[in-house]
Structure 1
Amino acid sequence: MTIWNLGSINADVVYAVPHIPAPGETLSSTNRQTFLGGKGTNMSVAAARAAAQVKHIGAVGPDGRWAVERLLEYGVDTRNITEIDTETAQAIIMVDPQGENAIILHPGANGEIPQTTLQTAMAEAETGDWLVIQNETNLQRTAAALGKKMGLKVAYAAAPFDPDRVQAVLPHLDVLILNAVEAEQLEKATGQSAAGLPVKDVIVTLGGDGADWHSRDGKQHFEAIKVDPVDTTGAGDTFTGYVLAGLDRGMPMAQAVGQAMKAAALMVTRHGTADVIPDLSEVQAFQP
């Protein structure tokens, strides 16, 4: 089948810093690199590298043609990425020596994807395909409702977190993926824990503590794979892409999550975002 991703496309400018700056503090960086990124892009590249057929739906400005070309090189179908008269999104990412990060996001073209672009793409989708959305673009609610109506399986990564946006798409979801902080925020907003949400499968990632999968059969915990992290940027997106690719290829959820845990563990040992996401052969060969 196919994974359709209504997803962001960013230029990620990554600064190595001695520590994450406090309010009012000025720091000198020790390194600066530019990568292809964006939560949507990372998920598309991860799913494609995990052997799924991925079709990305999104927008860039004239300054983002390089990003579309890079996505194509990584095996992502880019025919539903529209060029509009708005600058391509940018993320300013600060990474400390322990691999923790702080991010400033300028949404640019990600917030102005034309509805006609979404509709044109969805006209090609087939029952049983996957649709994945996250909060770095517009049109999530429209896409989720349309996907569900068409018989697609709808997955949602609830980041950057916005309680109103999450609640707007909850009725349409088959899979919800969020981190521990987002799960707490959602529980405060809805009064429902991850286990009590009206979604078939909810995965809560716990960073160094692994992940929990909540299903109708209860909760299953997955231990984190121990590595020495150098950069956590994009690890969650890599996890999501690998989970969906595994499910699309017919894996049971537990197997898909286990494979995704390995991919995310490899990812945090690398500096960068979409350009350094591991491929399936690397993940299968990885012996933690």
Structure 2
Amino acid sequence: MKVLNFGSLNIDYTYRLRNIVKPGETMTSAKLEIFPGGKGLNQSIALARAGVQVYHAGLIGSDGSFLLETCKESGVDVSLVRECKERTGNAIIQVSEEGQNSIILFPGANRQVTEEYINMVLENFGKRDILLLQNEINRVDMLIDKAKEKRMKVVLNPSPYDENMENCDLGKVDLFFLNEIEGEQITGKTDFQEILAVMREKYPQAGVVLTVGAQGAYYSDADGYTRQEAYQAEIVDTTAAGDTFVGFFLKAIIEGQNKKTALLWGTMAASLAISKKGAAVSIPSEEEVKQVFHCL
């Protein structure tokens, strides 16, 4: 079984502020920091640091070579990443003193994916391999269709949720990762149990992971659901918490562990990520998680 993450690679410009800027407000930032990021890159690094061999596919501009070095340092295979003429995708991230964030994305190279490139990448994968997707690149619909033709397992984190998701055949997804906002956008519900119930009704063949911040996470499928409470941690920066959860949850599933254990891994790793600044740089290693949480 091989894991392919076909996703974004971003340069994150992170501004430290007293609070998130309101409409019409001007505020001086205490600090500007530049980090590697993008949901795709973050999730690949989380998988690699959790001990999973992961292949990353995606596009960068000539300004994004340092992102590849960051991936390599964590053990991500970037041999399928290609450079294009568009500048690398980037994000403007506001982080408040309380550690909450607000993000503006410029897709750049991430939205230059072609059918030819998709075909070239997928030639290297087949039956029972895993394709992990987010919604920061274009042609997600095509990737889902072509992966299922190859009998791959499709894992989708539909973030940020927008009209492009409406073009995707979500009935082909094997596992969803949602937070409460995306859960509401897909189902129209705000109650966690109702979100899970609607997802089971709409996509009965799929597993659903619903992360709900300080209230922990749920896993649901046709056999029922289970919940894991969040681990308390000092909140410094929540930017990559969800991506960290995805990587460590999948690590447990790939190793054949049950869903309760997978939720445990995800919530523990995410609690460590929010206690550090930055996105990719805040993601812990498998050994760090084990050292802090001796139950593993």
TM-score range, shorter chain: over 0.9
Gaps of 5+ in 2: 190-194
Which deviations, in whole Å up to 9, do the C-alpha atoms of 1:91-147 show, x marking residues without a partner? 010000111100011000000023222211211113211101111001211111111
Query: In structure 2, which of residues 281, 290, 295 is the aligned counterpart of residue 275 of structure 1?
Result: 281
Query: In structure 1, which of residues 185, 195, 199 is the aligned counterpart of residue 200 of structure 2?
Result: 195
Write out aligned runs for 1:184-263 (5 A).
184-188=184-188, 193-198=198-203, 199-263=205-269
Q: Is the 8 A contact 1:163 1:185 kept in 2?
A: no
* d(CA) in 2 for partners of 1:227, 1:197: 35
- Give 2:33's aligned residue: 33
- Give 2:96's aligned residue: 96
Q: Is the 8 A contact 2:129 2:153 kept in 1?
A: yes
Write out aligned runs for 1:32-71 (5 A).
32-71=32-71
Amino acid at match of 1:232: T
Higher RCO (C-alpha under 8 Å, 6+ residues apart): 1
- Give 2:181's aligned residue: 181
Q: Is the 8 A contact 2:136 2:159 kept in 1?
A: yes
- Give 1:168's aligned residue: 168
Which deviations, in whole Å up to 9, do the C-alpha atoms of 1:230-255 show, x marking residues without a partner? 11001001111111222222222221
TM-score, normalised to structure 2, is: 0.93
- Give 2:9's aligned residue: 9
* d(CA) in 1 for partners of 2:44, 2:227: 26
Aligned length: 288
Q: 1:257 to 1:97 in 2, by over 3 A?
A: same
Structure with bigger strand share is: 1
CA positional deviation for 1:228: 1.4
Q: Is the 8 A contact 2:5 2:57 kept in 1?
A: yes
Q: Percent same amino acid among aligned pairs?
A: 35
Q: Is the 8 A contact 1:183 1:193 kept in 2?
A: no
Amino acid at match of 2:45: V
Q: 1:195 to 1:167 in 2, by over 3 A?
A: farther
* d(CA) in 2 for partners of 1:63, 1:149: 35
Which deviations, in whole Å up to 9, do the C-alpha atoms of 1:29-63 show, x marking residues without a partner? 11111111000000000001111110011000011
TM-score, normalised to structure 1, is: 0.95
* d(CA) in 1 for partners of 2:164, 2:55: 27
* d(CA) in 1 for partners of 2:69, 2:222: 41
* d(CA) in 2 for partners of 1:245, 1:3: 10
Gaps of 5+ in 1: none
- Give 1:131's aligned residue: 131
* d(CA) in 2 for partners of 1:273, 1:219: 30
Amino acid at match of 1:258: L
Amino acid at match of 2:208: V
Which deviations, in whole Å up to 9, do the C-alpha atoms of 1:49-83 show, x marking residues without a partner? 11111001100001111111221121111111110
CA positional deviation for 1:166: 5.2
